[in-house]
Chain A
Amino acid sequence: MVPRQAGELKPGLALSLLALIVAVMAAAAALVGPYPISGEQIASAVLGRLGGQRDPSLGQVETILFSIRLPRIGAALLVGAALAAAGAVYQGLFRNPLVSPDILGVSTGAGLGAAAGIFLSLPVIAIQGMAFATGLATVGLVYAVATAVRGHEPTLVLVLAGVVLGALAGACISLLKILADPYDQLPAITFWLLGSLASIQPEDVMTAAPAVLLGLVPLVLLRWRMNLMALGDEEAAALGIDPKRLRTLFVAAATLMTASVVAISGVIGWVGLVMPHIARLVVGPNFNRLLPASMLMGAGYLLLVDTLTRTMAATETPLGILTAFVGAPVFIWLLATGRRGW
């Protein structure tokens, strides 16, 4: 078989390499932080926990590792992978490489729920629950509006409805910000909207992970059919699939993944937009390979950025700011040098 381009990796090899890189990054991230922990300490703490025997001398190391550092690493991997997977799905479904996971208003919807929760001084778990619920509800509303408006290109109507309802939710957030207590609630709302993993708890990862996995199931099972969706409804239907039903299922799955991670991390942009692009450059557009590659890259990227935010400076920069600072130049570079189309 003739290689498509000189220097291009075989997709299987590229995926294995990506997985290896992410694993090494995760291990490295466990080593760094304000409290020094050595590799040996990590190894004995992990082995001790697996074997059910705890080394009492490792008390503080254990606490930091299992209550702070590992949950945060896990959250970064989970959030990055989920956002990138959702981005890859939406870009294929809407046949548009400029689409991101929040295109249908899931992030702004979730933001509104979280802002309302903070405004009402609810406990953290309730704020997350509200963010999740309003994120899903917004997309449901967008879908209902798009279904009610018939006789137009369905994809266009869906995206337009997403933009309009997203703007409406954004206006509601602004209203809450004005009404919020400027010393206590306003900073919390702003910080949440910028996205951060600083206050992540082990339980957060445990509640978000099953929802992400649930969303991932149809994507993995129907991975090949996702490719046909990129051809447009008529061609896809002529090839023997039901594009309407599949689109509803894929949108639901990607939305579930996005909403469940946005609920624990706040709004983190750019990962879902940029990572599927880079993945496509490496393994091509076939969803069989694009999905795992996007997830690995999203996980690795967010882990890298989050590790930088928590180690670089004494004050943490919200993740959303840093992902944009890194993401925007990378995206411009991609646009300028893109050799293969999308």
Chain B
Amino acid sequence: MELRAEKLGFGYRRHAVGRDVDLAVRAGDVLCLLGPNGSGKTTLFKTLLGLLPAQGGRVVLEDRDMAALARPDIARRIAYVPQAHDAVFPYSVRDMVLMGRTVHRGLFAAPGATDRERADAALADLGISDLADRDYTRISGGQRQLTLIARALAQETSLIVMDEPTASLDFGNQVLVLEQVKRLAAKGLGIVFSTHNPDHAFSCGSSVLVLENGLSRAAGPPQEVLTADLLSAVYGVGVSLEVLQSGYRVCVPPALAR
């Protein structure tokens, strides 16, 4: 299973956001998408998910052009994890996860016993079985993010696209979510995620794509691509890289380190 973008142009009908982006994600890959605010990350994701039509080039999913695939065909192959949001209505965590099963059921069917088993298995996989009967509106942001990841697992796709899964989470919950990203990739899932923290690319990404003003600024393995110069240029602040004793690579802003 492979998701590929070839010379992809993305944006809206009268408003181009980006162009000429190439990327590829295979089973077991973690592609980390970096880029400053307004660089077009979310629009690129929507295009990769087939929610927006490509404005140039193409998205290829499993050797088929995305434009030729029907909604259910896409949803059986790629799952989408949005940023943890407020739900309007107090669905239970189990019901939220069960919604991921919709594409595997008939048009008129409600989820059955098998689906509940799959949903409970996904919750157990992420270690949040105890939340199953709680209201989604009454759990923490980190728990919501894990619930949405569980929903993607219940959808049983081989690729997952996550839009800033660590945004607005506290430090502990960020680590928890990134741990799951690594673990799921080790199990053979292909994952694309965006983040504002370049450290995340070093800790989780098998490859990285740096987006700037809708153009691909750099792409490749994080250790090779993410240099101090590149990060300084892209984010507009001085950045230096340090390797800790454990081998863990971190970005340090010298302006704050003094």
Residues in chain A within 8 A of chain B (CB atoms): 1-4, 92, 95-97, 221-225, 227-228, 230-231, 234-235, 237-242, 280, 284-286, 288, 340-342
- Pick the contact of A222: B71, B79, B107 (CB < 8 A): B107
Q: A227 contacts B91, CB within 8 Å?
A: yes
Q: B72 contacts A240, CB within 8 Å?
A: yes
A241 to B104, CA, bound (A): 11
- A280-B89 contact given A221-B108, A237-B51, A240-B72, CB 8 Å threshold: yes
Q: B135 contacts A340, CB within 8 Å?
A: yes
Q: Enumerate chain B residues within 8 angstroms of A221, measured Cβ to Cβ.
A: 107-108
Number of A-B residue pairs having CB atoms within 8 Å of each other in the complex: 93
Q: Enumerate chain A residues within 8 angstroms of B103, measured Cβ to Cβ.
A: 239-241
- A286-B71 contact given A4-B134, A228-B102, A231-B99, CB 8 Å threshold: no
Is B111 among interface residues, defined by CB-CB distance under 8 A? yes
Interface of A is mostly: loop
- Would you list which residues of chain B between 62 and 97 have a CB under 8 Å from chain A? 71-72, 74-76, 78-80, 82, 87-92, 95
Is B100 among interface residues, defined by CB-CB distance under 8 A? yes
Q: B46 contacts A234, CB within 8 Å?
A: yes
Q: Enumerate chain A residues within 8 angstroms of B88, measured Cβ to Cβ.
A: 95-97, 230, 342
Is B133 among interface residues, defined by CB-CB distance under 8 A? yes
- Pick the contact of A238: B75, B107, B133, B137 (CB < 8 A): B75
Q: Enumerate chain A residues within 8 angstroms of B107, measured Cβ to Cβ.
A: 221-222, 225
Is B109 among interface residues, defined by CB-CB distance under 8 A? yes
A-B contact pairs, 21 of them (CB 8 A): A1-B133, A2-B133, A4-B92, A4-B135, A222-B107, A222-B108, A224-B102, A224-B105, A225-B102, A234-B51, A235-B80, A237-B71, A239-B75, A240-B72, A241-B71, A241-B72, A280-B90, A284-B92, A285-B90, A340-B90, A342-B90
Q: B76 contacts A227, CB within 8 Å?
A: no
Q: Enumerate chain B residues within 8 angstroms of A95, measured Cβ to Cβ.
A: 88
Is B194 among interface residues, defined by CB-CB distance under 8 A? no
A231 to B144, CA, bound (A): 14
Most chain B beta-carbon contacts within 10 A, residue among A1, A224, A240, A342 = A240
Least distance between A94 CB and chain B CB atoms (Å): 9
Q: Which 8 A-B pairs have the closest CB atoms?
A: A240-B75, A240-B103, A238-B80, A285-B89, A224-B110, A341-B137, A221-B108, A240-B72
Q: Enumerate chain A residues within 8 angstroms of B137, measured Cβ to Cβ.
A: 340-341
Q: Enumerate chain A residues within 8 angstroms of B79, measured Cβ to Cβ.
A: 238
Q: B89 contacts A341, CB within 8 Å?
A: yes
Least distance between B157 CB and chain A CB atoms (Å): 10
Q: A228 contacts B110, CB within 8 Å?
A: no
Q: A341 contacts B109, CB within 8 Å?
A: no
Write the chain B residue with the least CB distance to A342: B89
Most chain A beta-carbon contacts within 10 A, residue among B88, B110, B135, B137 = B88
- Would you list which residues of chain B between 94 and 153 have a CB under 8 Å from chain A? 95, 99-100, 102-103, 105, 107-111, 133-135, 137-138
Least distance between B141 CB and chain A CB atoms (Å): 15
Least distance between A112 CB and chain B CB atoms (Å): 32
Most chain B beta-carbon contacts within 10 A, residue among A225, A238, A286 = A238
A231 to B89, CA, bound (A): 9
Most chain B beta-carbon contacts within 10 A, residue among A223, A284, A341 = A341
- Pick the contact of A224: B75, B89, B109 (CB < 8 A): B109
- A235-B138 contact given A95-B88, A230-B88, A342-B88, CB 8 Å threshold: no
Most chain A beta-carbon contacts within 10 A, residue among B46, B74, B99, B110 = B99
Is B47 among interface residues, defined by CB-CB distance under 8 A? no
A227 to B100, CA, bound (A): 11
Q: Enumerate chain B residues within 8 angstroms of A235, measured Cβ to Cβ.
A: 80, 82
Is B207 among interface residues, defined by CB-CB distance under 8 A? no
Q: Enumerate chain B residues within 8 angstroms of A223, measured Cβ to Cβ.
A: 110
A96 to B110, CA, bound (A): 23
Q: Enumerate chain A residues within 8 angstroms of B71, measured Cβ to Cβ.
A: 237, 240-242
Is B195 among interface residues, defined by CB-CB distance under 8 A? no
Least distance between A150 CB and chain B CB atoms (Å): 9
Write the chain A residue with the least CB distance to B81: A238
A97 to B99, CA, bound (A): 21
Q: Enumerate chain A residues within 8 angstroms of B135, measured Cβ to Cβ.
A: 4, 340-341
Q: Enumerate chain B residues within 8 angstroms of A280, measured Cβ to Cβ.
A: 89-90
Q: B95 contacts A239, CB within 8 Å?
A: no
Least distance between A223 CB and chain B CB atoms (Å): 7
Q: Enumerate chain A residues within 8 angstroms of B99, measured Cβ to Cβ.
A: 227-228, 231, 239
Is B191 among interface residues, defined by CB-CB distance under 8 A? no
Q: Enumerate chain B residues within 8 angstroms of A230, measured Cβ to Cβ.
A: 87-89, 91
Write the chain A residue with the least CB distance to B105: A224
Write the chain B residue with the least CB distance to A218: B108
Q: B89 contacts A4, CB within 8 Å?
A: no
- Pick the contact of B155: A231, A237, A239, A288 (CB < 8 A): A239
Is B49 among interface residues, defined by CB-CB distance under 8 A? yes
Known contacts A238-B80, A286-B95, then 4 further A-B pairs from the complex at CB < 8 Å, ordered by chain A residue: A230-B88, A235-B82, A239-B100, A240-B71
